[in-house]
Structure 1
Amino acid sequence: MGQQEHVRAGDDGSEPTVTRGSRTNGSRAQKEVFEWVKALAIAAILVLVIRYFLFAPFIVDGPSMEPTFYTGERLIVNKVIYDIRKPQRGEVIVFHVPEEGRDFIKRVIAVPGDKVKYEGDDLYINGKKVDEPYLKESIAEANAQGEDFNNQGADRNFPNANFTTDVVPEGTVLAFGDNRRNSKDSRMIGFISTKEIVGRADIIFWPMDKISLVNHE
């Protein structure tokens, strides 16, 4: 059937006018709905691409990275950076631990070819002392109590004084938690395969008062 038309004569005897039905309005409404659906579909696809291929959220669980991160803080993990280049010393990474069935967050201490040695709170890589500015406050607090920060904690579950490794193999990194007294890391689980690395923690986005970029130095 064609579009309905209504003819109405003017009250003053003028030529009759033609009023079209509601089909035009209905077509316009359908088009608007279609545009909204299309926009939402595109947005959903973009979210999925960003979520699964570019970035991912991560929730900190446990004290192993204190005081850098605390339990409950939420981070944005950059999932593509290590497709472009290799991990570097000092970078905070998230990686799969198949034996644990979960992801860990730690800091890269050494990369392939490095030989690492700790003497108390002093880190040596390839025989050269390396500063760890992210541990400065923790080390100062421990030293003020006459202790080394890198020595065993009160529970004695993490023997890490004078830790020494062989040369870090290709395709792996050595990663420790910033809270050396309470961190299950490469000292217990060994070298981390780069194939298990999810990405680099780049942004703290929760809580709101801690929104900031992650320090990798």
Structure 2
Amino acid sequence: MHKLNFRKVSTSLPEINKKKIDFFNLNIHNLPPSRNIYFYSNNYSVPIKKYILNKKIQKIILDFENAIELDQINEEGISTFFDTIKIVYKEIGKVVLVALIIFMFSRQFFQNYQVSGMSMEPTFYNNDLIFVNKLVQKSIPMKWIPFFESERWYIRENIKAGDSVVFKYGSKNVEKFLVKRVVAVAGQTVEYQNGIVKVDGKIIQKLDTNNNYIKLTSEFKKMIVPERSIFVLGDNVYNSFDSRFWGFIKTYQVYGKTEFIYWPKDRMGKIEHSVQYDLGK
């Protein structure tokens, strides 16, 4: 708020007449661009309604229709301050809202996870931070729709043998996310006997049967991977809780395919996908 002194008054200010406009000849070289400038006379503050600019300001037209008493000035100053705060918070709110929309939209395509444990070493180590591509698999439960033939509507199915994927495992009361390697998909054959893992008759893992951990796993003869199912193993097969214990995983349990390690810095990089042969031997 700027207080300007009158040099010459063209007419004396009578008691405020809301319909009357008085003109003042001012010796002012610069006028701030804001219209929050007030002229003080007697007990009133009169705001600018319009001003005429030449090389030097010659006249300022005052708006007496909006004149306020001087004892209201401090209150108005406080209101202006709070109005400024409101504007700042409003702009911050817009930025936060846009960021939130972008965040929620991006979560439909990518998700970050933290690796826990050693079952995927040396591909992933404990506490690695990874990005997962959620575009490879997407399905929607359809049980709630009467007469719908399938329990789920599969929108995208692009899981391949060799992919390392994140999926949900466990009961509703104890659910957790795991990361494992897909070694066989629907239609392929898989068998696990005497420490040997075969996919389509080809040996992909030959393990030490004297290892105490391997002794805990469940062997099975050749089986065909069911429709919309996968068989998964940990890259560290001597320390992995995987399909050797609990069999096949449904593809709708898959949340996405691992794409990128973004922490720690020295391991940052894109993840290569391929079936691991004889890893952990």
TM-score for both structures, normalised by structure 2: 0.58
Q: Is the 8 Å Cα contact of residues 153 and 181 (structure 1) preserved in structure 2?
A: no
Which consecutive unaligned segments of at least 5 residues does structure 2 have? 11-23, 39-76, 139-155, 275-281
Give the match's secondary structure for 1:34.
Answer: helix
Higher relative contact order (Cα pairs below 8 Å, separated by 6+ residues): 1
Distance 1:153 1:195 in 2: 36
2:127 pairs with 58, 67, 72, which one?
72
Could you tell me which amino acid in structure 2 is paired with residue 57 of structure 1? N
Match for residue 183 of structure 1? 240
CA shift for structure 1 position 111: 0.6
Q: For 1:109-188, what aligned pairs fall within 5 Å after superposition? A: 109-117=183-191, 124-127=198-201, 129=202, 148=206, 150-152=207-209, 154-158=211-215, 164-188=221-245
Range 90-99 or range 80-89, more displaced: 80-89
Q: Is the 8 Å Cα contact of residues 151 and 159 (structure 1) preserved in structure 2?
A: no
Give the match's secondary structure for 2:244.
Answer: helix
2:113 pairs with 58, 61, 71, which one?
58
CA RMSD of aligned residues (A): 3.5
**Is it true that 1:15 corresponds to 2:25 in the alignment?**
yes
Match for residue 136 of structure 1? none
Q: Is the 8 Å Cα contact of residues 106 and 178 (structure 1) preserved in structure 2?
A: yes
Instruction: Map Cα deviations across residues 88-134 of structure 1 (whole Å, 9 max, x no partner).
Output: 0100001111245211110000110000246889764323x37x6xx
Q: Is the 8 Å Cα contact of residues 192 and 198 (structure 2) preserved in structure 1?
A: yes
Q: Is the 8 Å Cα contact of residues 158 and 181 (structure 1) preserved in structure 2?
A: no
Could you tell me which amino acid in structure 2 is paired with residue 49 of structure 1? F
Give the match's secondary structure for 1:66.
Answer: coil
**Is it true that 1:39 corresponds to 2:36 in the alignment?**
no
Q: How many residues align?
A: 195
CA shift for structure 1 position 68: 1.0
Distance 1:59 1:153, change over 3 A: farther
Match for residue 94 of structure 1? 166
Distance 2:169 2:158 in 1: 19
Distance 1:111 1:117 in 2: 13
TM-score for both structures, normalised by structure 1: 0.73
Distance 2:270 2:123 in 1: 12
Q: Is the 8 Å Cα contact of residues 213 and 239 (structure 2) preserved in structure 1?
A: no
Would you tell me which structure has more strand in proportion to its own residues?
2
Q: Is the 8 Å Cα contact of residues 172 and 193 (structure 1) preserved in structure 2?
A: yes
**Greater Cα radius of gyration, structure 1 or 2:** 2
Distance 1:70 1:64 in 2: 8
Q: Is the 8 Å Cα contact of residues 195 and 214 (structure 2) preserved in structure 1?
A: no
